[in-house]
Structure 1
Amino acid sequence: MKPAVAKRHLTTGRTVTFALLCAGMAVLSVRLPILATEAGDSALAADAAEASGDQAAVAAEEPGASPRSSARDLKAKPLDRPLVHVFEIHTVNTKGGMIDPGITAFVERVVEDANAAGVDAIVFDIDTFGGRVDAATVIRDAIVDADALTIAFINKRAISAGALIAMSCDKIVMAKGGEIGAVTPVSGAGEKAGDKYVSVMRAEMRATAERTGRDPEIAEAMVDERIEIPGFSEVVGRPATLTTSEALHYRVADETAETIIDVLRIYDLNNAKIVEVEINWAEHVVRILTHPVVTSILLSVAIFGLIAEVRTPGWGLGGTMALVALSLFFGSHLVVHLAEWDELLLFVVGLVLLVVEIAFIPGFGLVGLGGIACMVASLALTRLPGLDWVKVEDVSAVVGQLAASMIGAIVLAAVAMKSLPKLAAFNRLVLASETRASEGYVSAPRERDGELLGMEGVTLTVLNPTGVGQFDSRRVDIIAEGEFVEPQRTVKVIEARGTRVVVRQV
């Protein structure tokens, strides 16, 4: 009997073992499809399973490691698709195509959003002939601060400021027939800047190349034609501009590709989730408001509004126009770092000095001139490049822009004086008809002050606050006591002093 019992126990043990093996296979058959679904395809799931096994083996070899802790670590790190943000810096086929301060706010916002989202890569799709160096420098700093892998896809040009932007990226991929280089700083007239400014730009390009692991000599040769690249076919005497094949040869560019998908495939991101970032409406508005032409118009409107407000009592349309124009001007310039708060404060100080001069000091003297000087200096500083050096040509351009704004304000004032009185809407605010003596209008003579005081009459026109009233048989210019009075209303004279006759509605 004992052998039979032993055999029965052995059979039972084999059955239990076989059942456990079947259960384990069932669990694996369910778990593997789940991993494949999370990864997106079966090949990636197999690699992930293999990596998981390796990690579990390593963890098991470590002192104190356990299969349970390894499984918990794997569960805490799910397999996600990479995330890539893509956006364009294209100015070749756009109106007014250049890199300007309006683009800087867009790039800074894109990099900040990418850092917050934890993206794996940012692709800059570049096609530009360049633009303002100060704007490109701000963009360069934003790209350098990016947490993710930064890739410049040059399709087809990265000239001048565009080359600085591309060189600041971790990787450069160029389309066939592409170009990069020609970063020599020039003046507003298109002439080469002096050696001082060339030296600053050389240092900027060299530092950028060193940071991204590229040849700093080639980067400097893009700025200064006096630096010769050994074996380079470019004619000596011009700053280096490399084609796609030359950029690959000198290791300025890393790869070549024709589309964004090809770029992502090079860096094993072809399975990535792509988010195409576009400029929003607010950034569009800021870019328009910082355009030199629009800036001049805003300044003209602001100057005209200030002049109109000074010439009229109380707060009116002129002051509102000036406030709106200045808010748009300084607000847009603050967003793109063309203006700082100290420049805005300088303008406010100048405005206060001007108001004090006009309102409280007889005549016009040093206080008013100081206020005007502060305001002009503030506006000029917002238009100068944001670098540590300023060229004479930049100052001349700013002076010319401010002069154009002044001329625009004068023209606007002349047009307003000629056209506004003819508008029906303006006639509701200002009495347009003349009060001629031949039509029976008389001013209150000084000797009859006592006679008019206390007299009651009827308004013939709207008092807003001035108008015309009739007292007995006489028509007199009158002023309402701080209120709007309709025609044919009874009023009483409460003050009569020379030509000033103040009435109150009865």
Structure 2
Amino acid sequence: MKNRETNIMRPLLLILLAALTLGQAAMPTPSESTSLPTADNQPVPVTPADKASSLTVTPGGANVAVIKIQGMIYGFTLESLKRRVDRAMEGNASMIVLELDTPGGEVMSALEIAKYIKGDITIPTVAWINKSAYSAGILIASSCDRIVMHPASTTGDCAPIVPGTELAPTERAKALSPILEEFRDNARANGKDYALYHAMCVLGVEIYLIENKDTGKQMLVNQIDKALMVDGNAPESNVVSKLAGKDKPAGETNIDNVASVSRDVATDDELGKWKLIKQFHDGKTLLTLNQARAVEVGLAETDTIRDQADLKKYLNANIIASIDQSWSEDMAGWLTHPAIRAVLVLALLLGAYTEFQTPGLGLPGAVAVTALVLLIGAPFLVGLAEIWHILLILVGIGLLFCELFLTPSFGLLGIGGIVCIFTGLTLSIIPTVGNGPLPLPAPEMYGRLQVAGMWMILSFIFGVGGMMAITKYFGNIPGLNRLILSSPTQEDELAIHYKTQNTGTNMNLTVGLLGTAATALRPSGQAKLDGQLIDVVTSGSLIEQGTEIKIIEIHGNRIVVDEA
């Protein structure tokens, strides 16, 4: 019995062993399973776009928080970002998307934001360019783990500039050094080609797509690396001189030797082992990419993200939620727009002028005070206004009051007060640099400074025009005529008995009665009429003490005078 069972099991074991042996022979080796030959047995090219797409693997069920960064980049942008990231983390977010739509801004603030993203945010980050990320915007985007784009979006152009001024080589080098180093670190960390970012910052950086003859790997390099890796030879000396702006042919752009092109990625054992695919950028302009070209060169993974629904689908997210600024942050940001501030300045001028023309404190004065509080408070709350800006405004207001009530004529004090006020209001919305007692506007903010200055000038021009209109026309407008003195009627020209509190005597005051200004009338003061000191007001003009005057209007106990 035992021998029969043994005879039956032995063939079965032999059959099983043979099957296992055949299975092992049929399985590919690891090296065989990872090779991807083409039809002509050449390696499949690994393009920059392939490298970007290899980063798109997203674990399912992520809780995505979308934080929008819009408008100018400055110090408040970082503070707002930190607060919203904290709120996202408290809400158990597992991924943060920075939605970017910015023309750029302050360099140092962008660098701080980039370092904050890489150093303090511990969960994956994605930059969603919707619809622009220029200058400081692309610097922030490059610090994120991944980049995606809207179907109609652009990015690039990150050279530090001062509008209307050409930076000296030392100043340009100082501005470029931290920017390029940050881009280099971001490119290394996220598998991007540094040459792309270099071309966004420096004129003269040409971009070439090259491919390794053996592995099929493709990469983007500058012209120096291309010459070494494709041609196998270092570029001629006149090429380097040309890049440095020396021996420049007539009509050719002069390129400073600051941050000029040099050998970057080429190694000695790679010389001549690559082939040229195509030139991507000629270096005559700063590199700017639309969404399609950004995907082509591997800067962005996709250009299909129109809205949060597309984003949720692409990221395979469980939930997606926007982390917005608080209402106070939105309001303060809105109130610091130069055009809105011009309207507030107009309200301040017209409200203050109208208040001086009416008795007591009323609505125009309240409007002027409210406008002044908003003009000073909003930029201070968002971290734009410095202490010295506010002090300059207050000094200007003080000079105006001294001019109106202490000096006999409108002169240097009044002009100085106006200059101080408008200078303080203009500078208070411009990001500054430096930690001294008088931080000045950042060089890259000079363009915004010019815009703010023009809006201030326009508000002053319209304010003066409005004052003239108030004096001449507003008295005829229903509702507003209660604030403005109208022309005297026949009843006003009748004699009105005016009893003074000081003497208790009766006086006949009539329109046309002559007298003398006992004090300076600015526009209110005292006049000597019919032998008595009477409180009077002018129609808006300033009258010096001792000037002969006459009554032009009488409204109850309100006496309006003008020069005789």
- The match for 1:400 is 454
Residue 306 of structure 1 deviates from its aligned partner by 3.6
The residue correspondences of 1:244-283 to structure 2 (distance < 5 A) are 252-253=299-300, 255-256=301-302, 258-259=304-305, 270=316, 272-278=318-324, 281-283=327-329
Contact 2:205 2:282 in 1 (8 A): no
Deviation at 1:123, TM superposition (A): 0.5
Unaligned runs of 5+ in 2: 1-59, 208-221, 227-278, 434-441, 512-528, 537-555, 558-564
Structure 2 partner of 1:434: 488
Please state if 1:141 is matched with 2:112.
yes
Pairing 1:168–2:215 present: no
Identify if the C-alpha distance between structure 1 residues 207 and 300 changes in structure 2 by more than 3 Å, giving closer, same or farther: farther
> Which residue matches 1:218?
196
Query: What do the CA deviations read for 1:67-117 (whole angstroms, capped 9, x no partner)?
Result: xxxxxxxxxxxxx97532014557xxxxxxx65779948645533433554
TM-superposed deviation, 1:120: 2.5
Which residue number in structure 1 is paired with residue 468 of structure 2?
414
- Structure of greater relative contact order (alpha carbons < 8 Å, 6+ residues apart): 2
Aligned-partner residue type, residue 353 of structure 1: L
- Decide whether the 8 Å contact of 2:75 with 2:109 is kept in 1: no
User: For 1:334, what is the secondary structure of its paired residue?
Assistant: helix
1:84 aligns with 2:64: yes
Per-residue deviation at 1:381?
1.3
What is the DSSP-based 3-state SS (H/G/I as helix, E as strand, rest coil) of the residue aligned with 1:133?
coil
In the other structure, the counterpart of 2:93 is 119
Q: Distance in 2 between matches of 1:155 and 1:348?
A: 41
Q: 1:303 corresponds to which letter in structure 2?
A: L
Q: Which runs of 5+ in 1 are unaligned?
A: 1-79, 91-97, 456-470, 478-494
Of the structure 1 ranges 226-235 and 323-332, higher mean CA displacement relative to structure 2 is found in: 226-235
**C-alpha distance after superposition, 1:29-56 (max 9, x if no partner):** xxxxxxxxxxxxxxxxxxxxxxxxxxxx
CA RMSD of aligned residues (A): 4.6
Offset at residue 409 of structure 1 (A): 0.5
The Cα shift of 1:410 comes to: 0.8
Q: Which amino acid aligns with 1:145?
A: Y
- More helix by percentage: 1
Using a 3 Å threshold, how does the CA distance of structure 1 residues 195 and 219 change in structure 2: closer, same or farther? Answer: farther
**TM-score normalised by length of structure 1:** 0.58
Residue 131 (str. 1) matches residue 178 (str. 2): no
- Identity, in percent, stands at 27
Give the direction of change, closer, same or farther, for the CA distance of 1:422–1:199 in structure 2 (3 Å limit): farther
1:185: how far off?
Answer: 5.0
Q: Secondary structure at the match of 1:145?
A: helix
Say whether 1:238 aligns with 2:285. Answer: yes
State the match for 2:393 in structure 1: 347
> What letter matches 1:300 in structure 2?
L
Task: State the distance in 2 between where 1:417 and 1:211 align.
Answer: 64
- Structure-2 separation of matches of 1:438 and 1:325: 36
1:498 aligned onto 2:552? no
Question: Counterpart of 1:379?
Answer: 425
Cα separation, partners in 2 of 1:299 and 1:87, compared to 1, 3 Å? same
Alignment partner of 1:125: what SS?
A: strand
SS at match of 1:233: strand
Q: Distance in 2 between matches of 1:348 and 1:210?
A: 46
The CA distance in 2 between the partners of 1:124 and 1:297, in whole Å, is 32
Tell me the secondary structure at the aligned position of residue 443 of structure 2. coil
Give the superposition deviation at 1:411: 1.4
- SS of the equivalent of 1:141 reads helix
CA–CA distance in structure 1, aligned partners of residues 90 and 168 of structure 2: 41
What is the DSSP-based 3-state SS (H/G/I as helix, E as strand, rest coil) of the residue aligned with 1:220? helix
Change (3 A) 1:392 1:339: closer
Aligned residues: 372
Q: 1:103 to 1:441 in 2, by over 3 A?
A: same
Equivalent in 371, 375, 380 of residue 334 of structure 1: 380
Whether the 8 Å contact between 2:204 and 2:283 is mirrored in structure 1 is: yes
Which residue number corresponds to residue 66 of structure 1? none
Paired residues for 1:312-323 under 5 Å: 315-323=361-369
Judge conservation of contact 1:306–1:322 (CA < 8 Å) in 2.
Answer: yes
TM-score by length of 2: 0.53
Q: Contact conserved, 1:384 with 1:390, CA < 8 A, in 2? A: no
* Residue 209 of structure 1, aligned match among 169, 183, 199: 183
Residues 1:183 and 2:158 aligned together: yes
Offset of residue 407 of structure 1 = 0.3
